[in-house]
Homo-oligomer: A and B are copies of this chain.
Amino acid sequence: MTEEMLDALDRAGVRLTGPRRKLAALIERREGHFTAADLLKDAGRRRMGIGRATVFRLLELLSEQGLVERIDLPDGTHAYIPCEPTHHHHLVCLNCGATTDVDDCGIEAVTREAARRSGFKIEQHRLELFGRCPDCRSAN
């Protein structure tokens, strides 16, 4: 995953600097979704001396490359999820924050139907699913 990110940055034509490598490693160690503040705290604890702006800049780069996606949690806060750079949707555990990707499983039919009924030409969509992951389901 770290390799994947560094490759993507390389392909994007930006430099593989120290801060970027360190942050990529921190993202890899994270499980589930995280906020920019989480990452900054991680970096702070390890005395990495990485600035706020650098964190946001890397997240922006990664999200342009599709390796990270920003989602809107049900409580209105934003979080980032590491993911594959193909079109897909996220399933987020409301309990532990774990995420998995779901590829297109029928959403095309839904958008086509919505387009037909409304007369809109649909160009983008966003689908986010929230629930309980298998671990949290069996835990209680």
Contact = CB atoms under 8 A, between A and B. Distances in A.
Given A76-B70, A118-B102, A123 B113 contact: no
A119 B131 contact: no
Nearest to A124: B130
Contacts of A122: 91, 129-131
Interface of A: 70, 72, 74, 76, 89, 91, 93-94, 100, 102, 105-107, 109-111, 113-115, 117-134, 137
19 contacts: A72-B72, A91-B114, A93-B120, A100-B118, A105-B110, A105-B113, A106-B110, A111-B129, A114-B129, A118-B134, A119-B134, A120-B131, A120-B134, A120-B137, A122-B130, A122-B131, A125-B130, A126-B127, A126-B128
